Amino acid sequence: MTHMVADVLVDVLEEIGVRQIFGLIGDSLNPLGDAVRRSRIEWIGVRHEEGAALAAAGQAKLTGRLGVCAGTTGPGSTHLVAGLYEAARDHAPVLALSGDMATKLRGIDYFQTTEPDLLFRDVALYTETITSAAQAPSVIHQAISAAYGRRGVAHLTVPLDVFGAKAEGHVTSVTMLKPRDEFAASAEDIAAMARMIDAAGNVVIMCGNGCHGAADELRALSDRLKAPLIHSFKGKDIMPYDDPRWMGGIGMIGTKADYNAIMRCDLLVMLGTDYPFSEFLPQKGAVIQIDERAEALGRRTPTALGVTGSVKPTVKLLLDEVTAKSDSSFFEHVTRERHEWNAMLDKQAISNAAATASTRRRWHAPSATSPNAMRCSSSTRVSTPSGPATGSGRAVHSGSWPRSTIARSEPRSAGPTASRRLTGRARSSRLPAMAVSTC
């Protein structure tokens, strides 16, 4: 069998560890689908291409590995765009593949024609159309390298005749196509951070998406500095909610305790977070920020020291340089405020649940005078429009329900009047005693 350009693409995806492609098949993707069928990669079909892009983005964010999605000519690829913004804004490595009409049909206002490179230019940090089999290996390598190296969306458009063309070569330097390695900050930056932290009285540590995998280091730093840990939304799952160091989040869905802590602390240390809502960050400039992306440093709030580096190796080195703090009064104060906040939320939740349950009982209860209603009271009597009948169930509270509901839980010793009012199917039905007692 002829080795096609589609096989070149699938081969390299399989080699770098891609296990699924999310997409909606169409005629311009047939060669790709056939190549996937012969590989160990699983094609996961979706109902809409936006769902494919969101699935690839989610997979990339959870695993750190390349996510792949695909859409066919015209509306198939345009539907990818909305979902790809999820990956672009969250810096997730995703490769998006667009099928396209055969190259000979371009430029003649053909059915479903689009300009994918223009369309994807905003959402993708790399977008290119493969126009020949000879070009394919190098462009495929460049796209995957861009997605991993710059952490975002890379997009390739492949016309039908190019996908199905005989391959000319294969992708080389495949071992270079991998997630970026973590790296520590420089010794000078770590020394500068240690000096600022030692000089500060009260320190708060803010943990973002870049802190995943560094929970032990964060706990150690918190204990050494007597510093509460707070998180951005994307850092919420770094450690358990009930960890005593973990004070919760900030922002519109954050806590008052954390907001007060950030505004009152002498120094805020932002680790692996590009938290965008500046109104919840201090404006006095006493901030240290550590991030792998130099362009993220200092752009959300006035920052005294910006450090380029990965959180885990940088914090490991920092632990050896900072002096342990002995005064835990600030940490204890934030902890008390957090417990007070949690108690308020618990009280509010119980009050709301009780109100909701009361509303639900009233909503489900028809009028007691309705001809289609049966009433259960605290006695063991069941009232029907024809008269009373003694029941064996113990009623917990009064209320009226549609007769069709009560029929399914008919008391075992319902009187003759009640039996006449119920259908034969209802008379034969029985529910457990607990179900009857809830009436």
pLDDT digits (tens, 9 = 90+) for 132-162: 999 999 999 999 999 999 999 999 999 999 9
Residue 31 pLDDT level (bands cut at 50, 70, 90): very high
Extract the tokens encoding 145: 């390298």
Highest mean pLDDT, choosing among 104-118, 313-327, 422-436: 313-327
Asked if pLDDT for residue 388 goes beyond 70, the answer is: no
User: 400 pairs with which residues across the strands?
Assistant: 375
Higher pLDDT, 21 or 387: 21
pLDDT digits (tens, 9 = 90+) for 311-351: 999 999 999 999 999 999 999 999 999 999 999 989 988 88
Contacts of residue 295, Cβ cutoff 8 Å, sequence gap at least 6: none
Domain 187-343 in the same topology as domain 5-176: yes
Q: Which of 2.60.40.10, 3.40.50.1220, 3.30.70.120, 3.90.1170.40 would CATH assign to domain 187-343?
A: 3.40.50.1220
CA 259 – CA 278 distance, rounded (Å): 12
pLDDT digits (tens, 9 = 90+) for 276-290: 999 999 998 899 999
The pLDDT value recorded for residue 359 is 65
Q: What's the one-letter identity of residue 247?
A: M
Asked if pLDDT for residue 411 goes beyond 90, the answer is: no
Enumerate the domain spans of the chain. 5-176, 187-343, 373-437
Return the number of other C-beta atoms located less than 10 Å from residue 172's C-beta: 11
Q: Note whether 154 and 23 are within 8 A (CB).
A: no
The pLDDT value recorded for residue 435 is 35
Residue 352 pLDDT level (bands cut at 50, 70, 90): confident
State the SS3 of the chain. CCCEHHHHHHHHHHHCCCCEEEECCCHHHHHHHHHHHCCCCEEEECCCHHHHHHHHHHHHHHHCCCEEEEECCCHHHHCHHHHHHHHHHCCCCEEEEEEECCHHHCCCCCCCCCCHHHHCCCCCCEEEECCCCCCHHHHHHHHHHHHHHCCCEEEEEEEHHHHCCECCCCCCCHHHCCCCCCCCCCHHHHHHHHHHHHHCCCEEEEECHHHCCCHHHHHHHHHHHCCCEEECHHHCCCCCCCCCCEEEECCCCCCHHHHHHHHHCCEEEEECCCCCCHHHCCCCCCEEEEECCHHHCCCCCCCCEEEECCHHHHHHHHHCCCCCCCCCHHHHHHHHHHHHHHHHHHHHHHHHHHHHHHHHHHHHCCCCCCCCEEEECCCCEEEECCEEEECCCCCCCCEEEEHHHHHCCCCCCCCHHHHHHCCHHHHHCCCCHHHHHCC
Q: Note whether 95 and 120 are within 8 A (CB).
A: no
Q: Which of 3.40.50.720, 3.40.50.970, 3.40.50.2300, 3.40.50.10490 would CATH assign to domain 5-176?
A: 3.40.50.970
> What angle, 0 to 180 degrees and rounded to 10, lies between the N-to-C axes of helices 80-89 and 49-63?
20
CA 193 – CA 200 distance, rounded (Å): 11
Residue 367 pLDDT level (bands cut at 50, 70, 90): low
Q: Residue 98 to residues 89, 108, 237, 310, 396: CA-CA distances in angstroms?
A: 20, 20, 34, 34, 63
The pLDDT value recorded for residue 427 is 36
Find the Cα–Cα–Cα–Cα dihedral 207, 212, 217, 221, rounded to 10°.
0
Asked if pLDDT for residue 406 goes beyond 50, the answer is: no
Parallel, antiparallel or unpaired: strands 42-45 and 20-23? parallel
Q: Note whether 85 and 155 are within 8 A (CB).
A: no
Average predicted confidence (pLDDT) for the chain = 84
CA 414 – CA 92 distance, rounded (Å): 65
Residue 102 pLDDT level (bands cut at 50, 70, 90): confident
Q: Which stretch of 101-105, 226-230, 402-406 has the lowest confidence by average pLDDT?
A: 402-406
